[in-house]
């Protein structure tokens, strides 16, 4: 079989919707930079843009979408409900749509399974949790403002809790999670597959100044293929069946991350990357009022 042209590939969600395999992540992208980054990505062929209320850059993301000249219906836009808004799902989506300047988003995610008290971010709401939030989010698709709903940063334990709730009628279409060779989460991925939930990988390059860029094994493997370490990391993610949303605000890097057509990693190369022993997480849960990672992903 010929290698795939990943820049044109999609993954089919449990709703039948098709999410583009490669997107532009905008976490930690400053408002002043992100408008140009989104425009450059879309004009360069990207068709999937990921943002969130918590990033504080939805307005600029929306402007970049408009600047690009690419028709709205060709673009997949994901945004997320922020933790202090769990009790105000309706306000949350309306705020995001207003900032983005859009009538709808393709995917709306619960950013974290933490219903944080808006008056005290160190506290969790006593009378509300993510199961209540999901019950509210389930009402959104029929409103037409949200095409698909999903979750983010959900471990197996919290997904089990969600499925055990009698109000859960809709299975999340996506779980957006941190995935890279030093946080590979095979057990969680198997669980998601079994439940028909697609995984999108954030921090798929291991974030800015990633230790993965200095990994000798990866550097050698990339060099032998005439590719960058970043391209190898993205291909590893794609070949494991997850969509990837590398973040960059530099036009040359944005396009470098998109050079994923017509080549692939062999089974041996995949095995070699899978065998990297180091473990780290870019994004932990110590800043949240509740624990959301339980070591049940590997």
111 known member of a binding site = yes
Q: Is residue 297 part of a domain?
A: no
Q: What is the pLDDT of residue 140?
A: 99
Q: Give me the CATH number covering residue 122.
A: 3.20.20.100
- What pLDDT digit, counting tens, does each position of 197-227 carry? 999 999 999 987 899 999 999 999 999 999 9
- What pLDDT digit, counting tens, does each position of 70-85 carry? 999 999 999 999 999 9
The total of other beta-carbon atoms located within 10 Å of residue 29's CB is 22
Q: Is residue 286 part of a domain?
A: no
Dihedral angle at the C-alpha atoms of 205, 260, 177, 51, nearest 10 degrees? 90
User: 168 with 140: CB under 8 angstroms?
Assistant: no
Q: What is the pLDDT of residue 121?
A: 97
Q: Is residue 11 part of a domain?
A: yes
Burial group, residue 234, by CB count within 10 angstroms (0-12, 13-18, 19+): buried
Q: Is residue 291 part of a domain?
A: no
Q: Is residue 287 part of a domain?
A: no
Number of domains in the chain: 1
Q: Is residue 280 part of a domain?
A: no
What range defines the domain where residue 208 resides?
Answer: 6-274
**Active site residue ranges:** 55
Q: Is residue 113 part of a domain?
A: yes
Regions of the chain with pLDDT less than 70: none
Q: Is residue 293 part of a domain?
A: no
The pair of three-digit structure tokens given for residue 141, joined into one six-digit string: 């698709």
Q: What is the pLDDT of residue 247?
A: 96
The pair of three-digit structure tokens given for residue 53, joined into one six-digit string: 């209320």
């Amino acid at each position: 079989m010929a290698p795939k042209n990943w820049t044109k590939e999609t993954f089919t969600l449990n709703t039948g919707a098709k999410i583009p395999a490669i997107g532009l992540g905008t976490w930690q992208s400053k408002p002043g930079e992100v408008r140009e980054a989104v425009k450059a990505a879309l004009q360069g062929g990207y068709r999937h843009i990921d943002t969130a209320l918590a990033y504080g850059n939805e307005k600029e993301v929306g402007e970049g979408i408009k600047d690009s000249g690419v028709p709205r219906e060709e673009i997949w836009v994901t945004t997320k409900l922020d933790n202090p808004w769990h009790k105000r799902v309706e306000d949350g989506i309306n705020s995001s749509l207003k900032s983005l300047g859009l009538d709808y988003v393709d995917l709306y995610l619960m950013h974290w399974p933490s219903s944080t008290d808006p008056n005290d971010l160190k506290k969790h709401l006593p009378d509300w949790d993510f199961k209540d939030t999901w019950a509210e989010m389930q009402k959104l698709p029929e409103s037409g403002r949200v095409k698909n709903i999903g979750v983010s940063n959900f471990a197996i334990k919290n997904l089990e809790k969600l499925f055990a709730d009698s109000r859960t009628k809709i299975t999340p279409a996506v779980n957006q999670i941190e995935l890279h060779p030093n946080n590979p989460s095979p057990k969680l991925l198997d669980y998601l597959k079994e439940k028909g939930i697609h995984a999108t990988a954030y921090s798929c390059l291991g974030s800015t100044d990633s230790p993965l860029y200095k990994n000798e094994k990866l550097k050698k493997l990339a060099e032998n293929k005439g590719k960058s370490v970043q391209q190898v990391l993205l291909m590893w993610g794609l070949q494991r069946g997850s969509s990837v949303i590398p973040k960059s605000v530099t036009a040359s890097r944005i396009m470098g991350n998109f050079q994923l057509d017509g080549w692939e990693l062999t089974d041996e190369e995949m095995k070699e990357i899978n065998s990297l022993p180091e473990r780290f997480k870019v994004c932990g849960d110590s800043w949240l009022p509740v624990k959301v990672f339980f070591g049940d992903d590997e």
